[in-house]
Amino acid sequence: MSLAQSKLTAQGQISVPSEIRKKLGVGPGSILEWDEKNDEIIVRKAGRHTSADVHEALFSDGGPNRKASANVKDGIRKYIRQKHARR
C-alpha cells in the first residue's frame, strides 16, 4: 500500500504531500535527492554534503592526506565552493 500519491503537472512538477513533508522534515527551499535502486526510485532529504564530496575533498590525489584539521576544513570548503560556483 502506498504512503501517498502526487499528480504530475504538464511542466513536470509534483507537490509533496504534507505527510511526506512532515516525515522528511522538509519545507519551502528544501532540497530533495532522487536516487534509483534496482527497479525503484528513492526520494530523500538531501544532506548539505554527500560522503562522496567529503571523500573527494580529502583524497582527491588518490591517497590519504595527513593535514591538520583546519587545513582539511579549508580543503572541503574550497572544493564545495568550486563545485557549487555559479557560472
Q: Provide the pLDDT for residue 61.
A: 66
Q: At what angle do helices 51-59 and 69-83 cross, to 10 degrees?
A: 120
Residues of the chain where predicted confidence (pLDDT) is lower than 50: 65, 67
Q: Provide the pLDDT for residue 62.
A: 52
Q: Could you tell me what percentage of the chain is helix, strand and coil, using 3-state DSSP and rounding each to the nearest 5?
A: 35, 15, 50
Q: Provide the pLDDT for residue 16.
A: 93
The answer for residues whose C-beta is within 8 angstroms of residue 5's C-beta and 6 or more apart is: 17
The pTM of the full predicted model, rounded to 2 decimals, is: 0.48
Q: Provide the pLDDT for residue 67.
A: 47
